[in-house]
Chain A
Amino acid sequence: MTLAEEKQITAPTPRVITTKPRTSDKIFRAVIFTGALSSLVILAAIAIFLGLRGFEILAREGLSFITGYEWYSSINSDGTAGEDPSVYGIGAMLIGTIITALIAVAIGVPISIAAALYLNFYAPNAIRGFLVGVIDLMAAFPSILFGLWGFNVLMPSGEYWAKLLHKYLGWIPLFDVSTPFFSRSPFIAGLVLAIMIIPIVTSIAREVFSQTPLDRIQAAYALGATKWTMIRAVVLPFGYSGVVGGAMLGLGRAMGETVAVFTVLNIIFQANFQILLGAGGNVASLIILKFGEASAEEIKALMAAGLMLFLLTLVVNMLADLLVSRTVKQGR
């Protein structure tokens, strides 16, 4: 029986089959998981450090940090405390941030929706790619470019339009001004922000609209719909919550924008609801404005203001993300 003998000699021991990951895989997964946790760690660290540094001011001012309109640091130039107590309140700045961001959304979102509809349903194929490229390029423009351009180019013509609005629509309280000073107003800051959020809102609206089920579009046409009735009956209802999410994402961007707003906004520490008047507020601009010559205590107040801005934009962004992802998933 030579065959059996041979087999006994050469048969290899079978590999142990297991579902357990190898050591190399364990290391790989651990390393990748650590890397993936970075976003969680960074977000938590931002909240913790800003909260830690700003805690003293937040605890002292309490709720009036958010509702108060006064920002007064009573530290003298030689570092000693002044006679009046320091007061830190970002109420006016918060209101200003929300007003400018809302103006930006009110102007930018309709334009973005129209642009997205045009790119998806109206644009000739030959120029569609080019136009999408132009919008994407605009998203890559640095914010200081918008600041410089907004200050030098947009502000003069923005002032002209503000005067026109005031002249013909001044009877609406929103467009009224108490003194005829139209330069560096929330309206102009809102215009700059509107231009800055157009690319992101357009690209989200475009993505949401392109998820519209084709059979529904064709069904609408088959029933004799014109292009517009098709859009109104199929595309807009389908994309509604996604577009709202995109608008909120734009709102978040507009709230956190710093440099571009700083160059075109006159910062005044009072609540101003006359959007054409050259007096406004913005939390991010406040931080830039005060940071240069701030005392140690005022820096802490600025950190607290930064924390408020962070939390505000985080909440807006998370809501926006939920709305967008819901629509996009629904289409697939």
Chain B
Amino acid sequence: MSTATLSYPKPQKPWRPKQRDLIPTYLGILVVFLGTWALVEFTGFAGKLGAFASAVICTTLVSTFLAGRSRGKQAAKNAAVASIITSLALLAMFPVISILGTVLVRGTKGLYVGFFTTDMGLASVNDPLNVGGILHAIIGTFIMIIIATLISVPLGISTAIYLTEIRGPGSRLIRFLVQAMSGVPSIVAGLFIYSAIISGSGRGFNGLWGALALAILMLPTVARTAEEVLLLIAEDLREAGLALGATQWRTVAMVVVPAAKSGLITAMILGIARIAGETAPLLFTTGGGDETNLNPVDGVMGSIPFAIWKALISGSAESNARAWASILVLLALVMILFFSARRLGKARR
């Protein structure tokens, strides 16, 4: 038995472009750079956005030309559209980067340790940055979030259970109304609480009224997310519960809801993220105090958005820095909520 040497043919990969074929591409990239530079230099397209717009124009023209030269008219159109769509999608990401960057850079300037441990009771927004803080606002925001959650989560989850488990009369109407409610402007929620509770009654501003307004805004978010989550629960589980002789109440409480637990928590977190930064409704309901107030039913109560609002309309350099520092805290809170909701959502799937 002789040993035959097997010779494998070397893979040719004929589809791979040769160096020679890539020359137009390299030239194209060069043209894009030169063209962008020329547009920025000689026309009004200044600034980051101008540079971006010029780069988009050049890239589109060059890629269209290249595709058209080698593969014809349809390919040229395809290439043009692809580069326009890609650049518009990139453009949509611009504000996020700009916002996060600005908040980080400007927000850190106003931060110091006392910012989290003191309130503005003895300081005015125009005082130097080492005086006063937003302790009152952080506490107020947390108190209002807790009350709003206690109100809207039971209501929102009942709505979702009605839509997915009971499927009773009026389900379509209720789903429609929840959807419509999610579009109610936040200022209207504040005005409603003001008109229904505070106006003309002699009752003053306090944290509870603010929490009620926030609960109105939170309810549709919780209800819609919870409905989606409950719809994902397999029908088999419900039928298994009923087949064991459980009543519907026992099936929902001991089978369906536990199975959907993490999803329902996600719904709650998304609801909280929705209301954590709401400003307009609080302007009509809480009064926005400067001192730490732990009692939601007595006296004005501060909150982070209201503190930012006060600093913003006051307009001095110090108050502006304070506003940015406060928004850094608020953004950190919202992002923690957002990412924990996403983690929970991923773990479920």
Complex: A171 Cα to B249 Cα, angstroms? 69
Complex: A142 Cα to B199 Cα, angstroms? 27
Binding site for A on B (CB under 8 A): 44, 46-47, 49, 74-75, 77-78, 81-82, 84-86, 88-89, 91-93, 95-96, 98-99, 102-103, 106, 154-155, 157-159, 161-163, 165-166, 168, 173-174, 176-189, 191-192, 195-196, 199-200, 216, 219-220, 223, 247-250, 252, 273-274, 276-280, 283-284, 305, 308-309, 312, 320, 323-324, 327, 330-331, 334-335, 337-338, 342
Q: Contacts of A153 on B, CB cut-off 8 Å?
A: 98-99, 102
Q: Can you give 12 A-B contacts (C-beta < 8 A)? A: A25-B248, A36-B158, A38-B159, A110-B88, A145-B331, A146-B99, A153-B98, A195-B95, A198-B95, A226-B77, A227-B82, A321-B179
A31-B158 contact given A46-B188, A153-B102, CB 8 Å threshold:
yes
The answer to whether B92 touches A142 (Cβ under 8 A) is no
The answer to whether B247 touches A140 (Cβ under 8 A) is no
A42-B219 contact given A111-B91, A259-B279, A314-B183, CB 8 Å threshold:
yes
DSSP class of A's interface residues: helix, strand, loop or mixed? helix
The answer to whether B195 touches A49 (Cβ under 8 A) is yes
The answer to whether A249 touches B183 (Cβ under 8 A) is yes
Is A117 in the interface zone, CB < 8 Å from B? yes
The answer to whether B78 touches A228 (Cβ under 8 A) is yes
* A120-146 interface (Cβ within 8 A of B): 122-123, 131, 133-138, 140-146
Count chain A residues whose beta carbon lies closer than 8 angstroms to a beta carbon of B: 96
Q: Contacts of B96 on A, CB cut-off 8 Å?
A: 134, 137-138
Nearest to B44 among chain A residues (CB) is: A164
Max count, chain B CB within 10 A of own CB: residue among A35, A40, A160, A198: A35
Complex: A22 Cα to B154 Cα, angstroms? 23
Question: Residue B223 contacts which of A39, A112, A195, A252 (CB distance < 8 angstroms)?
Answer: A39
Distance in Å: Cβ of A7 to nearest Cβ of chain B: 25
Binding site for B on A (CB under 8 A): 21-22, 24-25, 27-29, 31-40, 42-43, 45-46, 49-50, 52-53, 110-112, 114-115, 117-119, 122-123, 131, 133-138, 140-149, 151-153, 157, 160-161, 164, 167-168, 195, 198, 202, 226-229, 231, 249, 252-253, 255-259, 263, 284, 287-288, 291, 296, 299, 302-303, 306, 309-310, 313-314, 316-318, 320-321
Question: Residue B166 contacts which of A29, A122, A287 (CB distance < 8 angstroms)?
Answer: A29
Complex: A320 Cα to B180 Cα, angstroms? 9
DSSP class of B's interface residues: helix, strand, loop or mixed? helix
Distance in Å: Cβ of A20 to nearest Cβ of chain B: 11
Q: Contacts of B220 on A, CB cut-off 8 Å?
A: 39
Q: Contacts of A43 on B, CB cut-off 8 Å?
A: 177, 180-181, 184
A-B contacts besides A22-B249, A25-B248, A35-B161, 17 pairs, CB < 8 Å:
A35-B159, A35-B162, A39-B177, A40-B174, A43-B184, A46-B188, A46-B189, A52-B195, A118-B88, A123-B89, A202-B92, A229-B74, A258-B185, A259-B280, A296-B200, A309-B185, A310-B184
Nearest to A27 among chain B residues (CB) is: B249
The answer to whether B334 touches A141 (Cβ under 8 A) is yes
The answer to whether B184 touches A314 (Cβ under 8 A) is yes
Nearest to A137 among chain B residues (CB) is: B338
The answer to whether B247 touches A25 (Cβ under 8 A) is yes
The answer to whether B183 touches A115 (Cβ under 8 A) is no
Q: Contacts of B92 on A, CB cut-off 8 Å?
A: 111-112, 114-115, 135, 198, 202
